[in-house]
Chains A and B, each alone.
Chain A
């Protein structure tokens, strides 16, 4: 099956710093990628939809100036958490849709990035 990678797998940073998370589709092209956040014992929460070559679409309540998304190529989307604070500590997961999959709508998930802000 299709593979999506995320880097880093985990990161610890100081409050006020910025953290960049990369999401790559390794063996397929993805015009659309999704960024999720998951707090302990809660379900996935969609943060934004990332579209290659255009601005991301953010879900209600997600600050676009704090969570910067760049989808510069068909295989890479990045999420930058700016001025991170302890409440941003969470599990961040990306997923990607295979642009060439036709009507098959499966999203392939990356392994996730655990962010801890001290």
Chain B
């Protein structure tokens, strides 16, 4: 079957670093995506990993290990505007996205 797991909610402090983990089991693999979604808005693209390793993009980095079915999103220098849900999604062999339930990140001053 297909399954994606990520924590339901995390809390972090402004200026700190937070890592959001995602584990997956999917049939076929065409990459893993991280999206940010603020309440009432559509998801916005953050990162795409299809090969093992770390992809860095400004304050956000994403890591993938295909052998372990594992990814994480690392957010540095947290800002209040980073409070949002972070969605992990894998793309299967039919180019469909399989979504995790999302991690609600709460940033405290």
Interface residues of A (CB under 8 A from B): 1, 32, 34, 42-46, 49, 91, 93, 95, 97, 104-112, 114
Cβ A34 vs Cβ B48 within 8 A:
no
Q: Complex formed: what's the CA distance from A112 to B87 in Å?
A: 16
Also in contact, A108 and B96, with CB within 8 A (given A43-B102, A44-B87): no
Cβ A105 vs Cβ B95 within 8 A:
yes
Cβ B101 vs Cβ A112 within 8 A:
no
Question: Does B84 make an interface contact (CB < 8 A)?
Answer: no
Chain A residues within 8 Å of B43, by CB: 44, 93, 109
Cβ A111 vs Cβ B31 within 8 A:
no
Cβ B31 vs Cβ A105 within 8 A:
yes
Also in contact, A107 and B97, with CB within 8 A (given A43-B87, A43-B102, A44-B87): yes
Q: Provide 14 A-B residue pairs closer than 8 Å at the C-beta atoms, listed in order of the A residue.
A: A1-B45, A43-B87, A43-B102, A93-B43, A105-B30, A105-B31, A105-B48, A105-B95, A106-B33, A106-B45, A107-B97, A109-B45, A111-B41, A112-B42
Chain B residues within 8 Å of A43, by CB: 87, 99-102
Q: How far is the CB of B10 from chain A (nearest CB, A)?
A: 15
* Total inter-chain residue pairs, C-beta < 8 Å: 49
**Interface majority SS (helix, strand, loop, mixed), chain A:** strand
Cβ A109 vs Cβ B96 within 8 A:
no
Cβ B30 vs Cβ A110 within 8 A:
no
Chain A residues within 8 Å of B100, by CB: 43
Q: Scan residues 4-59 of chain B and give those whose CB is less than 8 A from a CB of chain A.
A: 30-31, 33, 35, 40-45, 48, 50
Q: Complex formed: what's the CA distance from A42 to B87 in Å?
A: 11
Cβ B95 vs Cβ A97 within 8 A:
yes
Beta-carbon contacts of B48-90 to A below 8 Å, as 1s and 0s? Answer: 1010000000000000000000000000000000000001000
Cβ A46 vs Cβ B102 within 8 A:
no
Question: Does B105 make an interface contact (CB < 8 A)?
Answer: no
Chain A residues within 8 Å of B99, by CB: 43-46
Residue of A at shortest CB range from B91? A105
Q: Complex formed: what's the CA distance from A32 to B1 in Å?
A: 24
